[in-house]
Structure 1
Amino acid sequence: MFNRWSRSEDSLVRVFRNSSWLFSAKGIGAILSIFYLAILTRTLGVAGFGEFMVIVGAVQVLAAILKLQTWQTVVQFGVPYLLAGQYRNFRKLSLQNFWVESIGGIAACAALWLLLPLGASQFGWTKPVEQSIMGYGLIVFLSIRSTPIGILRAQDRFGGNAFGDAIIPIVRFAGASVLLLSTASMTGFLIVWGLSEFVSFVVMWLMVWRRHENDRSALDISADPVTPPTRREYLTFLLSTNLAYLISVVRERLVVVIVGFFVGVSAAGLFRLADQLANSLNRLSEVFARPLFAELSRLIAHGRSRDLRALFWRSLKVSAISGGVLFIGLILFGKYIIALISGPDYLAAFPILLLLGAATIISLAGLGLEPLLQAAGRAQHALIARVSGLAALGLLMVILLPRFGIIGAGWAMLVSAILTAIILFALSRAAIIKPRQRVSKTPMA
């Protein structure tokens, strides 16, 4: 039975097999995050936790704006090179993406240096806190993680990817435990969070280098070379996927910053706790969606349209059922989870948790839509859906946040998620019926 699972070339089995590697990392992360989230919320208090999350959210939004994510570009244009045996071209593509990510990281460092005094005046940060924020930002911006993630996923090495991902929660848990036994502070937690990013960055590149040593002598052997993407194709895909990623980060992080800015850090703390718990469901969707994108890319590369459609509908059914079960669990156990992790002071986050959980599960039900559009070379269509959802979110926040506070922000997130899912379904019809074949005419092995 195990041999059939490990060797099966059925598309959905391959997705689940690769998902199992990521799920092992996310499972470890989910368990450990409960403990370090409990340490964070209980030691910093509602206001302190909110302030910490405003800082982390602002840094991550800045990273999403300027430090371009490259892993999808490596997979999209790198998989055809690997299928054709063009290893030199794959390494050249990887190096190009490394420099794209690096330059963006340097630009983000400069932007943080310019914007930090504004945040300090708004929230009253002391010089030591300012310095720790700057240090945390430098580590996040200069840790080049997206490119090695793309290399590992293009090579179907999800085990190495999972190991690098698992390092982050392990370091955070260990660091938070040390702070609990000594003196917990905002500065200390920022140091731990930055250290976790740096260690993961080092591990990811070590995993890539091990394969590079094995493949160093590989020659380009393809008799039917893959045509490299034009600069326009490359930039269009890179910018489209990054704008979609930026929108997801804005939804997840910038809303917390806005709540903290206009309502207060205590409200931001409650909102972020609910968002953190809801996002544990979102992490499950990422576990499935990332291998799904890689598998859809392979099927399109081989021109297997019928298999692609079958995989899409099967994955949609699985995700919809999973979403329904998860939401029922959230209704039944959400209050107990909040009280257990953070204490009774945070129970006011439960109604927000239901709204954000519903928004996340709606996204989970259609998680195959965006990977399908991106793999089919229609990333701009996914971007249209995300931009529309973000515009709706902004408009609803302006209307609901002043009148209803954080509950209004939760409703804005839910309505935005529904609208985004509807548009994604509408735009995915053409990709399901007739996906574009991107690559060489190399026959399937």
Structure 2
Amino acid sequence: MGAGSQLNQERSAEASEQVFRRVLVNTGKLLGGRTVNAVISLGYTALAARALGVQPFGILVLMHAFAQLLGDVVRFQSWQTVLQYGAEPLQERRIGEFQRVIRFTAMLDVLSGVAGVAIGVAAALLFAGPLGWEPAQAPAAAAYATSVAIIVAAAPLGLLRLFDRFDILAGQAVVISLVRLAGCGLGLWLNWSLGPFLLVWAAGTLAGFLWMCGGAWLELRRRGLLEGFSWGGSYRIPQPGVWRFAWATNLNATLGTAFTHLVTLMVGSVLGPSQAALWRVGRQVADAIAKPAKLLVPALYPELARLRASSGEAMMWRLAVQIGLAAGGVGIVLLVVSTFAGAPLLRLILGAGFESAASLMTWQVAAAVVGLIALPLEPLVISLGHAGAAVRVRVVVAVCYAIALPPLVRRFGVEAAGASLLAASIALALGMLVLVLRRRGRSA
């Protein structure tokens, strides 16, 4: 019994290491694509800025940001539903059930796309002034808001993650940027105005969508998963709680995306635009530090879904610990660099006026490091079927932070926003940890 138990532990450890290496490899593919994309996007941004000038280019950025934010808010995060409910039927070759998952998640994308376009077009026309563009530019903004229908599509994303085709996903951002680079180069040469540049931006989004859908469709056909497929088939997934899961993941992602912009607005409304600028600079640096490690999350979700369908929860917890230690270790090193070299780096890159953001940036980087250490907890909670509990934890933390932030900032200044962010990150991490430990206690 002792020898057999030891052999099983060794096999389990070896399997865990293989999964961990696969997560790192897939993260590397995404990081490579993001790195190439960052260089190309800098090129097309520079071309558009030169062609349009500061004010029109700012309008372009605002219209694009509005569409992106709206897409993030209305999107159903159908890729998570694909992973949660498609991994087991795929593994067991229950093709009919898997095709229902495809139809259901595609329906989610269509519903969120219709809602997003309706809200976007109406808001672009009715609230032109508050959103940053002139009433005369509202029709162009409304036309660009229709790109939300493409932005929200996430079912193909989930399929490619489930099929482990991160190479195709890495190419999507590059395709988008190459189309925009070519269009912006032509626009600079032909001296285009704002309207054609909006078409270029939308064309890039459409090209990325077609790339992703084409890749997912070819992979479905290669695996024989389209046999007998029809869009007229059943859309009902037999597992309980599908709609509850879809709404919970939508709300959870919305909180994470919208709250970032809300805090910046709060700091600006209380302390003025200069302090908001310092906050934004620090937040961008913290986000840049955390970004490579956060790319572990897209690679982590499909592995957790596969482990849940096959190996059970013990392997899921082991993988979560490995990811947390790896991401947290990198984050702590970067926190040390930020603490001791933050001010000189800000002065070198942005100028002397931004050097005062160094101490604020340290708070923000510390909060990011806490998030990196806790990185696998929320995916683990959601993959174990407790998306609603994860949302409740995030809502409680977000509401407490939003209520406490204005009076703290008025009393203690912008540094209080950084300290509060760190406290909120710790509270969120502890809340997710409690959910994980409670689940582990039940299954022990």
Please report the TM-score for the alignment, with normalisation by the length of structure 2.
0.79
Equivalence for 1:24: 32
Structure 2 CA distance, aligned partners of 1:404 and 1:189? Answer: 44
Q: 1:19 to 1:69 in 2, by over 3 A?
A: same
Secondary structure of 2:133 counterpart: coil
| Aligned counterparts of 1:324 and 1:40: Cα–Cα separation in 2 | 38
Question: Structure 2 vs 1, CA of residues 180 and 399 (structure 1 numbering), >3 Å: closer, same or farther?
Answer: farther
- Equivalent residue for 2:158? 150
In the alignment, the residues of structure 2 paired with residue 326 and residue 45 of structure 1 have an alpha-carbon distance, to the nearest angstrom, of 36
- How far does residue 414 in structure 1 lie from its aligned partner after superposition? 2.9
Structure 2, gaps ≥5 residues long:
1-14, 229-235
Question: How far apart, CA to CA, are the structure 1 residues paired with 2:270 and 2:195?
Answer: 24
The farther-off stretch of 87-96 and 254-263 is 254-263
CA contact (8 A) 1:259 1:267 kept: yes
Question: What is the 5 A alignment of 1:168-179?
Answer: 168-171=176-179
Q: Is the 8 A contact 2:370 2:425 kept in 1?
A: yes
Query: Is the Cα contact below 8 Å between 2:180 and 2:200 reproduced in 1?
Result: yes
Distance 1:375 1:118 in 2: 40
**How many residues in Structure 1 have an aligned counterpart in Structure 2?**
423
Q: Which residue of 1 aligns with 2:147?
A: 139
Q: CA deviation at 1:380?
A: 1.9
> Match of 1:103, as an amino acid?
L
Please state if 1:90 is matched with 2:98.
yes
Partner of 2:257: 249
Which residue of structure 1 lines up, in the alignment, with residue 111 of structure 2? 103
Could you tell me which amino acid in structure 2 is paired with residue 238 of structure 1?
Answer: A
Which residue does 2:322 correspond to in 1? Answer: 314
**CA distance in 1: counterparts of 2:40 and 2:356, whole angstroms:** 24
Structure 1 residues 169-197: Cα deviation after superposition (integer angstroms, max 9, x where no partner): 55566667777888799878765554432
Match of 1:10, SS state, is helix
Alignment of 1:342-357 (within 5 A): 349-357=357-365
Structure 1, 389-398 or 401-410: larger mean CA deviation:
401-410
Aligned to 1:377: 385
What is the match of residue 233 of structure 2? none
In 2: Cα distance, 1:267 partner to 1:193 partner: 31
Distance 1:323 1:211, change over 3 A: same
Q: Report if the CA contact (8 A) 1:257-1:268 is conserved.
A: yes
Which residue does the alignment assign to 1:121? 129
Question: Comparing both chains, which one has the higher relative contact order based on Cα–Cα distances under 8 Å and sequence gaps of 6 or more?
Answer: 1
Distance 2:327 2:379 in 1: 13
Computing the radius of gyration from Cα coordinates, the structure with the larger value is 2
Distance in 2 of aligned mates of 1:43 and 1:262: 36
Q: Is the 8 A contact 1:241 1:379 kept in 2?
A: yes
* CA distance in structure 1 between the aligned counterparts of 2:204 and 2:178, rounded to whole angstroms: 8
- Normalised by the length of structure 1, the TM-score is 0.79
For the aligned residue pairs, the C-alpha RMSD in angstroms reads 3.9
Change (3 A) 1:85 1:381: same
2:22 to 3, 8, 14: 14
1:360 lines up with 2:368 in the alignment = yes
**Among 400, 421, 425, which residue is 2:429 paired with?**
421
| Aligned-partner Cα distance in 2 for 1:349–1:184 | 38
- Kindly state the Cα deviation for residue 334 of structure 1 after the two structures are TM-superposed: 4.4
Identity of aligned residues (%): 26
1:76 correspondence with 2:84? yes
Match of 1:291 in 2: 299
What amino acid maps onto 1:133 in structure 2? A
Counterpart position of 1:225? none
